[in-house]
Structure 1
Amino acid sequence: MKASEVMVSVKRWFSLRNYDVLQEITAGDLSDEINRRASLLRYDFDYGNDTRRLRCLEYEARILAGNPLLVSSTTKAPTARKINPLTDASLHVRHITVADIGRYEARLRELDILRRGDGSSGPVSKEDGRRRLTDIDELNADHPLYLWLNIALLTDEEVVEHVKRMLPQWRKEYGTGEPAINTSRFGLSTVKKLIHYRIIPMLDLMLWEKRNGARISYEQMSRLLYPDDSNVIRGGAQIKDTDRPLAERALTREFDRLFNLWLSKNDYLMDTKIADVMKMDEEETA
C-alpha cells in the first residue's frame, strides 16, 4: 500500500479527538484497555477458539469504528472500590479445599503410599509419613507448594517475615528459580507517559497495520498522533526512539503485571479518573 493510500485509509476511521474520552476513564480502566489491545495484537487474526474470536472481532470493530473504549464507560454510576487488580492471587495463594484433599488422597493411593482396605488410615510407613506433598508431586506450574500456616499464633509481620526467609531455601530445594520480571521502574510517571505519548491511539494504529498488512511510517504516525493544530509535537524520530518502544512494551505480559502491581500498591487510584491522575505528583503515590 502506497504512503498516500495508507493515510487516506487510516483517516477514514482514526481521529485523535475520539481519544479525548480517555481522560474520563479511571486508572484501573486504563490498565484494562491496554490489556485488551495486547490480546488483539498478541494473537493471530484467526483468534483461536470461537469465543475469543468473536470477542476480539467485536473489539476490533469498535476501534475501527472510531470508538476507543473497549471495556470502559464514562457513564457508569459510582460504585464501590474495585477489587485488587492482582485477581490471580487467589489462584496461587488460597485455602486447600476438601475437593483438593480428595484428589490428593486418590493420587497417594495410586502410588501405594496410603493403606488400602485394612481398616486403618495413614501412610504405609513412617518414612512415607515424613514425605512432603511436594516431594511426591513434581513441583511445577500445576503443582503448588503446600504449606502449613498457623495464623492464630503469628502476627501478620511474623508470617510475612518467615515466608520471606524460607522462600530462597524452598526455591533452592526444588530448583525453582524466581520468575524473571523486569525490575525497571513503574510508577506514576509511566502512567502519565501512556497518556502524554498517546499510547492507546498508537496501539490502535498498530492494530490497523497488522490487520491490513501495511506499515505506517514514523513520520505518518507523528502526523496522525500530533496533527497541525496540536499543542504538542513529537516527530518521527521521537516516535521511533521513545514512543513506539513504550507501546510495544505495553503489549507484554510483564508490563501488565507491573501495572497491576502498581495499582495494587496504590489501590485508591483504581477509581480515580485519568484527568485527576495526570495532575498528581510522584510523591502522592509513593
Structure 2
Amino acid sequence: MKQLRDNKAQGSALFTLVSGIVIVIAVLYFLIKLAGSGSFGDVDATTEAATQTRIQPVGQLTMGDGIPVGERQGEQIFGKICIQCHAADSNVPNAPKLEHNGDWAPRIAQGFDTLFQHALNGFNAMPAKGGAADLTDQELKRAITYMANKSGGSFPNPDEAAPADNAASGTASAPADSAAPAEAKAEDKGAAAPAVGVDGKKVFEATCQVCHGGSIPGIPGIGKKTIGHRVSKKAKKPCTNMPLKALTRCRPKAAMQV
C-alpha cells in the first residue's frame, strides 16, 4: 500500500515537472515571437499631408454645384450664370438670346477675341464676367463658345485650340514684334480720327434706352417735355459734355465702347 502511494506521488511530481517545462517553453516561444514582430514606421505615413488625411472630417460641405473652379464646362456655366440674360426666352434688352441666330450673327462676325474681351471686361449693361468673379478665363471662353455655337457660330473648342494657339504665337512672335511699332502708329491714327456716320437712334437703342427709355427717378426720359429744363439755347455745349464726363449715376459715355 505504501509503495502504491509512493508511485502515485512520483507520477504526480513528474507530471508537474513536465507541465512546468511545457509552460516555460510556450512562454519563451511567444516572447521571442513578440520581440521579432516589431513594425517599422513608414516615412510617407508620417508626412503632414498624410496626417491631415487621417484626421480630416468624415463629411465635407461643398458650396455651389460641387465642380471645382476651372473645370466647369460651357453648358454648365450658361445654366448657372449666363442664362439670366441670354436665355432663349429672356426679356433683357440688347442681350443676344441663345439659339437666336439673328441676334448673334453681327457679334460672331466681330470675332472670338472681341467677344471674349467684352465678356471679360464687361460691355454696355453686362458686368465683367457676367457678374461671376470666380470664372477663370478658360471657363469664360468655354461659355462664349457654347452660346455662339448654339446660335449659328462655329468657334473651335477652346480647350483643344489653346495648345495650337500657343504654338502659333511662339512661331510668329518675331514678326509680331517687328510689326508692333507700325501697328501702334496705326492705332494712334485711328484713335485720333473722330467717329463719323454714327446713327444717334441706333446708339440710343443700344445703350441709352436702358435708362432713358423708362421712368427711372432722376433720369430724364425721352419724349418728356420736362427734359427741356436741362437743355436750353444757352446750355447746349455744357449739355453735350455731360455724357463724356458722366453725371450723378450716369457713367462716362454710359460705358459704351464708341
| Pair in the same fold by TM > 0.5 | no
Q: Which has the higher contact order (CA 8 A, sep 6+)?
A: 1
Select the structure that is richer in helix: 2
State the TM-score, normalized to the length of structure 2. 0.23
Based on CA coordinates, which of the two structures has the bigger radius of gyration? 2
